[in-house]
Structure 1
C-alpha cells in the first residue's frame, strides 16, 4: 500500500449524481423510465436532480482537489452524448470535456466508465441488451466518446458491473429495465460482454495512450452448512456471481457447470467468433466488492441464501466481511493465469449519516475502509498485482432502487439545499494523502 504509484481515489456514476435529465439534448434512459414507474424505487425517488452535479461540477472538482485524492472515477451518460440516430450531442460532450480538463488541471488521474447502467430508452425499446444490435450500438458510442475525449482519460472502463446489468436488470427485475427472466439475463450478459469486446477495439484505435479495461462486481460465497451439498452451494454461488463474467473475459468460455447444472434452460446466444472478441486482452481489471453471502444447498441442486446472525452489517443489510475481498483476489490470481493488474474500483458502505453541529462522524465507515484496505494489503503481500483503490462514493447519491435513503458518500449531501459536508472519513482521507504527499 506504500508503493508510490498505488492510486487512492473516489468514484461516482452519472445517473446517481448528475441530475439535469432533460437538459442540453440528453435523451431519456432506462433509469429515468424505471424510477418514474410507481413502486420501483423506494419513496418514488428519481435521478432527475440527484446531486445536481451537472450544474455544480466545478464546485465538486474543487472539493475533490481539497481531499488530495490521486484519482477520480466517473461515468459518461450515454443518453447525454448521442442522439437516437447516433450523432454526437456537442453540449453533452462539452460537459465531460470541461470536467475532465479541470480534473487534469488539478493533477487528478481520470478513470472513465462508458456504461454505468443508463442505457438510452430508445435502445431498450428496440430490445435493449437482449438485442445483439445493442452491442454494436455500444461500440459506436465507445468509438465516438473515445475519439472526442482522447488524451483526457487515463483509464477507460467499458462496462460497470455487467452482472448487475444482466441479472438485476433482466433476471430479477430489481433494476432497470425491470425484466424477470433468466434466459433474458443470459442474453443480456452475452451482448454486454460482446459490446465490451467490440468497444475495446475502437478505444484502442482512438486513444492508444490510455489504459483500457472493464469493471466487474464480485461476491464471496460461503456456507455455515456441514454437508458436501452445502459446500457445493457456496461454489455455485461464486460460479454464477464471478465466473459467469470473468471466465469469458479471461478464459474465452462460459463456465460449463453454470449451464449444465444451474441454468440448463438458459444458455447464452454465442455466435462464432464472439468469445474471441470478448476475450481480448485487458490492460486492467476493475473489481467492485462490498460483502459476502452465506448460502446452503436448496435440495434441488442449487443454493439458497441463509443470512448469518450476530454479524456486523451496513445500512444496506450487507455483512461487513473484509476477508472476502482478500480471499477473492488471491483466488482469482490462482484461477486465471492471465489475470491483468487490478484496481479496486468500488468499495464502501452505506450508513444513516446525519449532520450534527456541522459535522458527520461516520465511525463505522472509517473502520470499514481501514479494514478493507488492510485486506487489499494482505492480497498484495500474497502476490496479487493490485494498483489502486477507489472509495464508493465521493457523494451521497441516488442509490438505484433504494433512492436517497442509503448514504454511501464520504461527503454528505443535503438534497434540499445541495450543501456538501465532508464527513470525518473524508477528512481522514484528506489528511492521510496530504502526509503521503509530504513523504510522512
Structure 2
C-alpha cells in the first residue's frame, strides 16, 4: 500500500466542451456549425441518429450541474464557448449567449470550482466554413476577433483560458481521413489547415496579452507519444516524422515560438510547404503560459513498406505498428499504456523548458455501462477507477522526477455526446439517462474522485 500525494494546489477536475454538452444547438440565437450541417445532410453517419441538437441539455441544467461539480470534489473544470452561439454571424454579439455564459461561469465559481475556458472544440461555424474554413487565411482574423470578444466579455470571471482543443484532430479528421466534415482527403490541404490554425492560435494569444495581461493562456493538445517498432534506422526515421507531425507541429511553436526546422524540412521534401506571409514568424512568437495535454493512448509506428515519394498521406512517412504485447480498451479500440504519461512528463521537463502543464484529458470510454449497475442504480465502474490509478501512478512518478505538472482532468464530468459516436461510449462521473429527461446519476468513480481531491492524493493498493 503506497500513498501518492500531489503538489499543493493541484487541480483535480474534468473536461468537456460546449457542442458536446449544451444542446440547444440551433436555438437561443446560435447559428449552424459544421456538425449541425453534417447531421442535417448526412444523418446516417451518426451513431443511433444521435445528432448535435440536444446532447446533454446542459443549457437548461447547468445550475444543478455546477452543484454536482462540488459534490464530487472538483476544484477545476474545463469547458468551451460555442463560437457560433456567441457570434452567430462572426460579428454580432448574441446577448442571450452572453447572459448564459456569464451565469454559467459564475455558478461554476460559486461552487468552489476554477473555470478554464477554451475557445474552439471542433465546432466550426458554418458561415466561416462556407468561406473555406481553416483553409482560408480569413479564418485567422475571424478567430482573433472572436477570441478578443470572449476575453472582453468574460475576462472578469475567467482568468485561465485556452485557444484550441486538440487542433490536430480537425486537421486529420477533416482533411486526411474523412471522419469529420468536410471529409477531404488531401495531405497538402491538411498542412495548410494546420498552419492557419496555428496562426489563429498565436493571434488569439496576442489579443489575450492586450485584453487580459494578468491572466494566463494556453492550448490543449492531444499527445500520442511515438514508440517505434525497433531501433533500426528506418523505423527511427518513421518515429521522428510521426513526432514532428503529431506532437511538435503545435507544441514547438506554442512553447518555443517557432516551427521546428526539422518539420519545415520534412514538409519541403514532400512538397507540402504551406502558403505563408512575411510577418507570420513574428506572430508565432506569441507563446503560451501553460500547456494542457490530453493523453489516451500511444502511437506505435514502423517504417512504411511501399511509401510514395513525395508523401501522399502520413502513412507514406510512417505506418502503424501492431505491438503484440498491447492491452486494448475493446470499446474504443485504443491501447492502454499508462507508462507513457511518465515519458510525456519527462518530455515537458527536458524539451519544453519545464513549462507548467497539466493532464487536460484522460479517461476510459465504455459501452453499455448499465451492465455494471447495482441494485441501487449506481454504476460500479471499477474499471474506470483502475484506469485512472494506473495513469496517475506514472504521472506521480514524473512529478517526483521534477516535471512541472499542476493538474489532472478526466474526460468527462457528465456523459456527453461524442461526435459521430454519439453516446455509444460513456466516460462521465455521472450517467446521463437519455430516456428520462437527461437525468444524471452518480457513478462509483465520482465518489472515488471526491476522496482523491479532498486528500490531494490516494492510496494505491497495487503498489509495493
TM value normalised by structure 1: 0.94
User: What are the equivalent positions in structure 2 for 1:43-122 lying under 5 Å apart?
Assistant: 43-122=48-127
| Residue matched to 1:323 | 339
TM value normalised by structure 2: 0.89
Q: Which runs of 5+ in 2 are unaligned?
A: 308-315, 458-464
Work out which of the residue numbers 271, 274, 280 in structure 1 matches 2:286: 280
Relative to structure 1, is the Cα distance of residues 436 and 266 closer, same or farther in structure 2, using a 3 angstrom cutoff? Answer: closer
SS at match of 1:64: helix
| Residue matched to 1:306 | 321
| Residue matched to 1:220 | 225
Q: Say whether residues 1:28 and 2:32 are aligned partners.
A: yes
In 2, distance between residues paired with 1:4 and 1:251? 28
In 1, distance between residues paired with 2:67 and 2:454? 16
Q: Say whether residues 1:427 and 2:462 are aligned partners.
A: no
SS at match of 2:12: strand
Work out which of the residue numbers 4, 10, 23 in structure 2 matches 1:19: 23
Relative to structure 1, is the Cα distance of residues 261 and 203 closer, same or farther in structure 2, using a 3 angstrom cutoff? Answer: closer
Deviation at 1:333, TM superposition (A): 2.4
What is the aligned length?
Answer: 436
Would you say the 8 A contact 1:171–1:183 is kept in 2? no
Q: Deviations over 1:88-136 (max 9, x none)?
A: 0000111110000011111210100011111110100001001111110
Would you say the 8 A contact 1:109–1:154 is kept in 2? no
Q: Which runs of 5+ in 1 are unaligned?
A: none
Relative to structure 1, is the Cα distance of residues 435 and 252 closer, same or farther in structure 2, using a 3 angstrom cutoff? Answer: closer
Deviation at 1:63, TM superposition (A): 0.8
Deviation at 1:287, TM superposition (A): 0.9
User: What are the equivalent positions in structure 2 for 1:122-161 lying under 5 Å apart?
Assistant: 122-161=127-166
Would you say the 8 A contact 1:293–1:307 is kept in 2? no
Select the structure with the greater relative contact order (CA < 8 A; seq sep ≥ 6): 2
In 2, distance between residues paired with 1:16 and 1:85? 21
Q: Say whether residues 1:382 and 2:397 are aligned partners.
A: no
In 2, distance between residues paired with 1:55 and 1:325? 37
User: What are the equivalent positions in structure 2 for 1:336-415 lying under 5 Å apart?
Assistant: 336-337=352-353, 339-352=354-367, 353-354=369-370, 355-357=373-375, 358-415=377-434
Would you say the 8 A contact 2:10–2:456 is kept in 1? no
SS at match of 1:322: coil
Q: Deviations over 1:213-253 (max 9, x none)?
A: 11111111213346321232223222211011112223343
Q: Deviations over 1:324-359 (max 9, x none)?
A: 12112212322233x521021111110122234201
Please say which of residues 39-48 and 191-200 is displaced more in the overlay. Answer: 39-48
Q: Alignment RMSD, CA only?
A: 1.9
Please say which of residues 274-283 and 186-195 is displaced more in the overlay. Answer: 274-283
In 2, distance between residues paired with 1:166 and 1:41? 20
